[in-house]
Amino acid sequence: MTNETAFLETPIGTAKIVGDENGIQSVTFLDEKIPTSIEIAPCLQECVSQLTDYFEGKRTEFELTLHPKGTYFQGKVWKSLLQIPFGKTTSYLEQSTLLGDPKAIRAVASANGKNPILIIIPCHRVIGSDGSFTGFSAGIWRKKWLLAHENPVKQETLF
């Protein structure tokens, strides 16, 4: 079975989507601008559609078959990321505690950094215990953008 690839222009750069009939294997971001794919393999069409809805503010949850490649531990960490609700954040310490070992914070952070399916497996929702925007494989500026997109501050008028 061959992997299919599609590109999607987004507000944070070109998303490169890879997958096959077994599911989505990766969503990564490129710094180079590549136009949205015109021909999209059937196994990737729903992912492109749902990501488009997400960026247009019409979707808060994804309903896709995911097939990330990683170790058993990484898979456990990535699965726990799926429990973080849209518009919310958690810390690496909270995530490692939830996984049963608060001392595994570095291993959990490392597994988050190797998450191959950005946005859909929402590792961008994990921040430092002090509220800092620590590590994001696609760049901190993208993490800030995604968190602001998911939790826009509504500015109230002062007068």
List the end-to-end C-alpha distance of the chain, in Å, as a whole number: 62
Q: Which of 51, 123, 127, 146 is catalytic?
A: 123
- Classified as helix, coil or strand, 100 is coil
Q: Break the chain down into helix, strand, coil percent, rounded to 5.
A: 35, 20, 45
Q: Is 47 a catalytic residue?
A: no
Angle, to 10 degrees, between the axis of helix 72-81 and the axis of helix 105-113? 80
The Cα 129–Cα 123 span in angstroms is 15
| Residues with active-site annotation | 123
